[in-house]
Amino acid sequence: MHLNIDDTFTTELKSDPEIQNSRRQVLDACYSFVQPRKPSNPALLHVSEDTANLIGFKNEDLASPEFLSIFSGNSIYPNTKPFAMNYGGHQFGTWAGQLGDGRAINLFEVLHENQRWALQLKGAGETPYSRNADGLAVLRSSIREHLCSEAMYYLGVPTTRSLSLIKTGDLVLRDVLYNGNPAYEQGAVVCRVAPTFIRFGNFEILAARNDLKNLTALADYTIKHFFPTLEVGTKNGYLQFLKTVVESTFEMILHWQRVGFVHGVMNTDNMSIIGCTIDYGPYGWMDNYDPNWTPNTTDSSHKRYRFGNQPNIALWNLNQLANAIFPLINDIEPIVKILEAARDLFPSQYLKMMQSKIGLSNESIDDSKLLSNLEKLLSDSNMDMTLFYRNLSTISKNQIIFR
């Protein structure tokens, strides 16, 4: 098994000098080196061949003992050093301080056909950022993430991908109903794949600590590798970086609204800097059309992350990112213009998306009232969103429907 390893995050950004895997505040660093936990009896349950092809695997690699060993966390790919990222975040609107990769361990980066891919294990054990958790994942949630990542991709939604799902052979204690009755479940590890796993929170933690040196290094690294058409190290470059992130984030949100997807936990540490869906926790797709629906039981009272509020939360989160990189720009007016332009543009983008969704080809006509009435009808009638649009697609434009 041979991969074209091209690690940049760990070679260009500052590491945590402490090598002990103990829970702690990690200062003056973008990541910490850490070893995955070795599973007792790993078994490969599924591999996404399409994702494997992106990375450069051959078909025979996927059934090899080496593949199972590396992507279960049992062994390390030669000449690579796994690590956990340091980031913070706003959780439910409140600054939570340092969060970090508490149960995710980044393995390495691969360069294949001029595309960079970062590979990350979820559920492979504790890291310095695990806080009071064990860093593990159960089979139940791992299946959900593995399937949803690939489903979202084929629905045309920007997303992380999932390479493999591996059962560890170990038991993990979880309180499924949060009622004080924990029970043991089967453990599992998912290998997630994306160009990068950098989040808004990576910038926030450095800004919160006034670590301008590492903040600048992270911004320049991100622009260099993932926004290569932009200037590196200039005010204009940082502004264009923010503008691009704003645009790609709202494009992702449009896709969420298009398919009725609700992320469930849009904290800033769960927002990808490249505008792809990341961290499939309490997600869901709407059944009956309800703008107030959320799959997150911990959000059931305030419904901050409800379906209809996702565009507003995206803007709120982008404001936090803008605050984080403000020291690199030091000029509030152009930042405000970028955020306000996105806020003002989103309704027209949403209108175009909805026009396309119901088959209205003339985008120059303002169908906002029609679409608003449609959404109200769906909500009032408790209509299944997906079934409605699927059935609508069976109606020919030549048909005339009388009431």
Question: What is the DSSP-derived secondary structure letter of residue 127?
Answer: -
Element (H, E) at 119: strand 115-122
E-strand ranges in 216-364 read 261-262, 284-285
**Residue 234, token pair as written in the block:** 């200039």
Q: What is the dihedral of CA 69, 147, 267, 129, to 10 degrees?
A: -10
Angle between helices 310-329 and 332-357 (to 10 degrees): 150
Task: Find out whether 241 and 230 touch, Cβ atoms under 8 Å.
Answer: yes
Question: Is residue 101 packed enough to be buried (19+ CB in 10 Å), middle (13-18) or exposed (0-12)?
Answer: buried
Cα distances (Å, whole numbers) of residue 168 to 81, 96, 210, 303, 388 = 21, 31, 40, 35, 41
Count Cβ atoms below 10 Å from residue 354 Cβ, excluding itself: 20
Q: Active-site residue among 269, 287, 380, 384?
A: 269
Which position has the token pair 């003002």? 344
Task: Quickly tell me which residue has 């279960």 as its tokens.
Answer: 72
Angstrom distance (rounded) from CA 76 to CA 31:
18
Determine contact, residues 280/146, Cβ cutoff 8 Å. no
Let me know the angle formed at the C-alpha of 13 by 9 and 14, rounded to the nearest 5 degrees: 130
Q: Residue 100 in contact with residue 84, Cβ under 8 Å? A: yes
Is residue 6 annotated as a catalytic residue, yes or no?
A: no
Strand-pairing partners, residue 46, are: 165
DSSP state of 270: G
DSSP at 75: S
Please count the CA atoms within 13 angstroms of the CA of 291 that sit on its side-chain side. 13
Which sequence positions are flagged as catalytic?
269
